[in-house]
Chains A and B, each alone.
Chain A
Amino acid sequence: QLYSSSLDGSIKLWDFMDGIPIKTFTVGSKLLALYALASFEDSLFVVIPKSGERDTFQLVSVKLTKAAGQDLEAKELSVVLDGVDASPKRIAFGREGEYVASVKDVNLQVYFFKQKQLNRFSVSAVKTKSGNNRFTCVACHPTEDCIATGHADGKIRLWRNFCHKKEYTFSTLHWHHDTVMDLAFSVEGTCLLSGGVESVLVLWRNESDCQKDFLPRLGSAIEYISMASDGTLCCTLHTDNRITIINSNLTFAKSIQGLIKSANVKTGLVVDPRTKALVLNGEPGHLQFYSLQSDQQLFSLDIVQRQYIHQAGLNQTDLVKVAFSAQGQWLATVEEREEVTDPELQLKFWFYDEETQSFKLNTRINMPHEDHITDMCFRDMDELEEDSLILVTTGRDRVFKVWVMVEDTDPEAQQSVSWSCDFVGSYHNYQATNCCFSEDGSLLAVSFEETVTVWDSVTWDLKCTFCHPPGKIRNICFGRLTCSKYLIGATDHGFLCCWNLLSCALEWSAHLNVIVLQPDPLSEHIAAVSWLSKESSLFVFKPNEPRPIYIQRNLCREKIQLAAFVPRDEPETVGSEKYLWLRRSQLFFLTDTQELMTLSMKSLQERLTPSSKQLAVEESLPVTPFSLLLGKHRRQRSQENTDPGKILVRNKREQDSPAVKELLHTPAHVLPSASFLCPVFIDSLLISKENKSAEEVADEVEMESEKTEDDSDEEGDVIEMEQEDASRVESLGEVTCKLSKSQEKELRKIRKMDYSWISVF
């Protein structure tokens, strides 16, 4: 059985095998952390805010009544510790629940349950030059009276003899140069694991400073460490939305990752024409190719090719711009290092090598512009021969540059072509901000602050200029297909303008604060996302008429930063007139909290059902995607575990890990026979039949993946949407999008149902 707590003040008891909530206890106030102990069978410990005081929290024990019934009130609260920290890392229960340790700022509190004794210790608050020594996390030895605390200056202190107020003692372990993010003891307590921003997992043996082992290069900063109850595995949760499973001998076992969360998505959402994967910043200095269909990172391309130093406050080279040519043959990247005085810039051209199936560096240009590059685009001409391929970059140094391929004259060069600058254009010494090619590639539009200039792409003559003062141009794009005579521009003064290129006049304009302007490459539709009064709204229109064909207000509360149309493999059949524009491609959004969302045209009911049927389909697939699926669920659960709103009971959770592990390590040929699994399939089929839906599998996979894209650090940011919209828009970030209670239960029921067959093992 499994307990979960949520911010709305309820504790739920689940049967996690069947995925059925058994009981709901209502506590009343926000629950920020939940702890359950084997030695306290009928009570749970939760952290709640202290009434009447802001930012003060207390640890209380909640008595769970044994009464029957689904919804129960749990009003019997008794305060254990006052003035605790809200973070679940900062409270730990000691050996057999004898004591509880809590850290906040420079104070450590230990409360002994039996003796009802509270001891307070503090470290000196002086800020030394090596940083401050605030407590950041705490862990208790499983068998001995020993508390390990992590500090902001990278030290780990091991406290002993803390049952005496005066004769306590501690020893110090110091390896981390920055904050110790989390600590965990091994099951026997012989080893201590610690992690921090260095992204190195440190194993301390026998509490000795000299006997330590490292597992370096874990990719990104370690946020949480958790140990399996049988001691064979441990897992670390990283800041970039990834879980690493590590064997007890400190070797890397497996990594579970979906969309990598990077500090700042500067590249925008780009679709790789070849794989239809979403391309954006991944690990620092890398480009991730993320498959939407399988919720998988296809690969990570190292663009910067430099060692990343895991240290806070360093300016390191990062990728800022990405552009693909129409066929995906060429990839252009821009990387820069943020320096106050002079930024370091590099423009790189990558050629797709068919043999190695990867991109190969073709040309590297140092300092392509004097200042930051603002935009970059290829001339998209599918039918034309290769040497007409042009790249345009615009820079803050008030010019735009045209780059063309030239034959390499150097006989020693291994490649036949390289890129060089062909033309430099400028307009009245304004900063160039955006650039865009028309569909046929004959015209180039470059925006210079308030003005849009249109250039002939053959002769590089300035054809005409458009201007809609006041306000600088934020986005421009050409219309497609039937609307290719239109040029759309959005200004930061809240206007969306459409110019007719034939008449060189303003066709129409609308007052709209457009953040993102994204044309669909396969249709004439253009999506615009506006940000108004703390809500994002979506407008889809055709340039030839000033009326939007689709409006979705209150898309989400977060600011949408980026959007991309991803072409569908085959056009959907769309029943509703309203969703006709989604027929050929699908629209994805990325918000500033890095949640990836999409618009779906099906009702919630339809979309929720197939997951059980899905499982049956997946079952017949080879092991890799299967285990991946399982892994996704695992990850989801452990993310919930780390979420303060939903701390699961650890020891309960760990029970299924051997079974899952067994599955993960079972090769396809030793999987149980189909007949063995048959009842499970039938079971799942029965449920799907109930709902009488028949969607395509591809779509289901997609949805499955969407649900699992959970960003671990978006704690408490619950997306609230109006009830009628909830059925239309799916928020990917949170599984707990605001559905009605019954819907939510159903959703969980169906999702948890997948596990029923596991119990067979």
Chain B
Amino acid sequence: MGEFEVHRVRFFGLVPAGVRCLAYQPRGGRLALGRTDGAVEVYNFAANYFQEKVIPGHEARSVEALCWVTGDRLFGAGLGGEIAEYDLSRLCVACSVDGGGGPIWSMAANSSGTQLAIGCEDGSVKLFQVVPGGIQFERNLDRRKGRILCLSWHPSDTHIAAGSIDIFRVLDVSSGQTVQRVMVNYHVHKVKRECIVWSIAFLSSGTIVTSDSFGRVQFWDWERGTLLESHTVSTSSVLSLAVSEKEDSIVVGTSTGATYQFQLLPVKMGSLEKRWVRTKPFQHHTHDVRAVAHSSTALISGGLDAQLVIRPLMEKMQKKGYEAALRKFTFPHRRLVSCARKARLLLFQFSQHLELWRLGSTNETGKDGEVLPLCRMPEHLLQLKSKGPEHIYCSCVSPCGSWVAYSTASRFHLYRVQYENDSVSVKKVPKVPKLLLPAYQLQFSTDSDNLFVASARGSVHILQLLEPGSCKHLHTYRPPSECPEAVYLLAVSSDGHWLAAVSGDWAIHIYNLKCFKHHCTVPTYDCAVTALAIHPITNNLVIAYSDQQLFEFSIPEKQYTAWSRTVQNQGLHKVWLERDSPITHITFNPKNPSHILLHDTYMFCVLDKSLPLPDNSALLMNQSTLKQLPETARQRQLHAFKICKKFQPLLFADLLDENCLVMVERPIMDFKTQLPLPIQQKKFGT
């Protein structure tokens, strides 16, 4: 593996925003996730749960509810009172319509996808018609006092159940009248607290399921308004509820972080009488579970602890394996850190500001595992606050450290940073060229002369940076065929000759920078690209896909390399393929051309192409066993993957020079302490 001097960076104070709402789209296998800061993310279940698209948030635009309409249109509504349709190829809000009823707490689409219902602060339920290119207000349904916190359509689209405080109502869609009104706190005596109906579901059998702040999940007959069953699952609120498509299973999330499954089970073998039974409890979260979703094979929950948990249902799985593993996602599947190698600077991207840090340094050397004393502490050089309510899409620092660029939804900023002794001065580059915004990825060339801006429609702009602080637009690369999707990953060769760009349709285009033209397209592989990089010496493009496959593509020869073919023939190790977080960054060691350095959230790996690939019987993570072996035996046991799991969770790793690494960690405990306190629970034995 080699020895490295490692900068173990723990001063990236990223606090991921909590999960506010989830919307699962069963046919596309996609999950839309809304965070408390207004960001919307789309996870592709077919591509190993890869976080495919991220739409950064907006200060004024919270997301309270998300819903998919007719398969691929995503709508969101929030306390800003607006309903927005998201453009998933350009990753921005396509259009937004004011709801006209104050803050919107809930939104639901009918099963045919023609109508959207929203529940507003003023107690009204409004219907919107979904039309191509947007939505149109249709009419108001019966308005009563009390905010509408949750909505659910009857699968036949004739009725809507709306949950409010202390009551829920059933509205007739055609007449717009309230046809049933049920007090949910009727059965609780002497309690003066109000009972909030947090979530509601209307089943096709006419049963309404409510979850409320008294910790109950209740089943009602809507026509008679009678309580069928009541299950107290928690001492605190049950915040969220989701029903499976077959309506035989329900998942609920509580404010203690526990989720429970309810199943409709026959009371007796062979009899038709069925009953809802609370079956499995899960405790994956530490904070409120604000959103749950139910796919056909898994329970999905998202909490204020920023975790997205996908818990497969074992009984729905055909076999044990990759699909049946529990998955937890806390950190984004893309990098928020960029590194100026030469200047030894790190740029951290937060939702609304950037931080520039200089790494510490040491004069001492030590043995493996030793912590070296610092002679200069890491230094916080700069904090750049983004103006306006929009959140940052992407950012980058140039390798020389003198340029910093970032982009929001509507603006692009380029700064010239100058270092004079101990003081740092920042100057904004005036008159940046008008580009197609937003930029989805920024990348400086190795010599810091050019800036590549990934843009919508598959295009990449190239800006030339001029001393002392100006720039000009040089060229725009476009893919040979029309592409609606935005470019989300860029890679530049270190000799400045090649540029690789990945767009949302997962096509990788390679451009020749010297003659400003399209060079070739990497053969399509039907999976999301999670990271790519061009080797500085061989100009081979190394690509990591979300199904954990690795490819090496020779740009000059326009074909996969021999090594890549061997990898495909032999197949990668089972343990490697079953990892659940994608490779987020690839880099190379110029001293060792056969080494590829890659990392995901839980490991850092040096891939040595000169060594044989491990087969499934070998131990993948064999570094610690290798250490104990004698030299001769060690030679026999060596294989290509050298994995280090010392740094977790790893947000970024890069090679500064040939024997110096920088690792950016964000220990889970560090950010958990910055979250609001969870509900105090008495734990036995403490």
Q: List residues of chain A with CB under 8 Å of any chain B CB.
A: 95, 98, 112, 143-145, 160-161, 163-164, 166-172, 177, 206-211
Pull 11 A–B residue pairs with CB atoms less than 8 Å apart, ordered by A: A95-B268, A98-B269, A112-B269, A145-B268, A168-B315, A169-B280, A169-B315, A170-B280, A171-B278, A171-B281, A211-B232
Report B43 CB to chain A, min CB distance, Å. Answer: 27
- The interface residues of chain A lying within 8 Å CB-to-CB of B265 are 160-161, 169
What is the bound-complex CA distance between A208 and B229, given in angstroms? 12
The 10 closest A-B pairs by CB, nearest first: A210-B232, A169-B279, A167-B315, A171-B279, A163-B269, A144-B267, A160-B265, A166-B315, A161-B265, A145-B269
Asked if residues A207 and B263 are in contact (CB atoms below 8 Å), the reply is no
What CA separation (Å) do A98 and B271 show in the bound complex?
13
In the bound assembly, the distance between CA atoms of A95 and B279 in angstroms comes to 20
- What is the CB-to-nearest-CB distance from A81 to chain B, in angstroms, rounded to a whole number? 18
**Other contacts beyond A169-B277, A171-B280, A172-B281: 18, CB < 8 A:** A143-B267, A145-B268, A160-B265, A161-B265, A163-B269, A164-B315, A169-B261, A169-B265, A169-B315, A171-B278, A177-B685, A208-B231, A208-B233, A208-B278, A210-B232, A210-B233, A210-B235, A211-B232
> Would B268 and A144 count as touching, CB distance under 8 A?
yes
Q: Are B279 and A160 in contact (CB under 8 A)?
A: yes
What is the CA–CA distance of A168 and B280 in the complex, to the nearest angstrom?
11
A53 to chain B, nearest CB (A): 32
Task: Please indicate which of the listed interface residues A98, A160, A164 has the most CB atoms of chain B within 10 Å of its own CB.
Answer: A160
CB-nearest residue of chain A to B317:
A166
The contact string, 1 if C-beta is below 8 Å from chain A, for chain B 223-253, is: 0000000011111000000000000000000
A210 touches B215 (CB 8 A): yes
Instruction: Give chain B residues whose Cβ lies under 8 Å from the Cβ of A145.
Output: 266-269
What is the bound-complex CA distance between A211 and B214, given in angstroms? 13
Minimum Cβ distance to chain A for residue B299 (Å): 13
Docked CA distance A171–B261 (Å): 9
Q: How many A-B residue pairs have CB under 8 A?
A: 57
- Closest Cβ of chain B to A213, distance in Å, is 14
A145-B267, A177-B684 given; A207·B277 CB < 8 A: yes
Question: Does A169 lie within 8 Å of B263, measured CB to CB?
Answer: yes
- SS of A interface (majority): loop
* Chain B residues at the A interface, C-beta cutoff of 8 Å: 215, 231-235, 261, 263, 265-269, 277-281, 315, 684-685
Alpha-carbon distance A191/B649, docked complex (angstroms): 46
Task: Give Cα distance in the complex from A166 to B215, angstroms.
Answer: 30
Q: Are B263 and A161 in contact (CB under 8 A)?
A: yes
The distance in angstroms between the C-alpha atoms of A207 and B277, with both chains bound, is 9
Complex CA gap A163/B270 in Å reads 9
Q: Which residue of A lies closest to B267 (CB)?
A: A144
What's the Cα separation between A521 and B472 when bound, in Å? 118
* B-chain residues with CB within 8 Å of residue A171 when the two chains form the complex: 277-281
Minimum Cβ distance to chain A for residue B439 (Å): 49
Interchain nearest-CB distance for A107 vs B (Å): 17
Cross-chain contact of A160 among B232, B277, B684 (Cβ < 8 A): B277
Q: Which residues of A contact B234 (CB under 8 A)?
A: 210
The CA-CA distance from A167 to B215 in the complex, in Å, is 27
- CB-CB < 8 A to A161: which residues of B? 263, 265-266
The residue in chain A whose Cβ has the minimal distance to the Cβ of B235 is A210
Cβ of B261 to closest chain A Cβ, rounded Å: 8
When distances are taken between beta carbons in the complex, the residues of chain B under 8 Å from A169 are 261, 263, 265, 277, 279-280, 315
Complex Cα spacing A207 to B232, Å: 10
Task: Give complex CA distance A170, B281 in Å.
Answer: 10
Closest A residue, CB atoms, query B232: A210
Query: A177 CA to B686 CA in the complex, in Å?
Result: 13
Expressed in whole angstroms, the Cα–Cα distance for A169 and B232 within the complex equals 19
- Residue of chain B at shortest CB distance from A159: B279
Task: Give the Cβ gap from A722 to chain B, nearest Cβ, in Å.
Answer: 54
- Smallest CB separation, A114 vs chain B (Å): 9
Distance to closest chain A CB from B654 (angstroms): 39
Query: Which residue of chain B has the shortest Cβ distance to A161 in the bound complex?
Result: B265
A170 to B684, CA, bound (A): 23
Q: How far apart sit A98 and B231, CA to CA, in the bound complex (Å)? A: 28
Find chain B residues with CB under 8 A from A210 CB: 215, 232-235
Chain B, Cβ-Cβ closest to A115 = B269
Nearest-neighbor residue (CB-CB) of B684 within chain A: A177
Distance of B312 from chain A, by nearest CB (Å): 14
Interface centre among B215, B231, B277 (most CB of A within 10 A): B277
* Chain B residues with CB under 8 A of A95: 268
| Cβ contacts under 8 Å, B269 to chain A | 98, 112, 145, 163
CB distance from A203 to the nearest CB of B (A): 15
Nearest residue in B to A98 (C-beta to C-beta)? Answer: B269
Determine the chain A residues whose CB is within 8 A of the CB of B278 once the complex forms.
171, 207-209
Q: B281: which A residues are within 8 A, CB to CB?
A: 171-172, 209
Give chain B residues whose Cβ lies under 8 Å from the Cβ of A209: 233, 278, 281
- Closest Cβ of chain A: how far from B218's Cβ, in Å? 13
Q: Which residues of chain B come closer than 8 Å to A211, judged between CB atoms?
A: 232
Contact A170 B232 (CB under 8 A): no
Residue of B nearest to A167 (CB): B315
Q: Which residue of B lies closest to A206 (CB)?
A: B231
CB distance from A478 to the nearest CB of B (A): 54
Measured in the bound complex, the distance between the Cα atoms of B262 and A160 in whole Å is 12
Bound: A207/B230 CA distance, A: 12
- Complex CA–CA separation, A143 to B281 (angstroms): 25
Q: Which residues of A contact B280 (CB under 8 A)?
A: 169-172
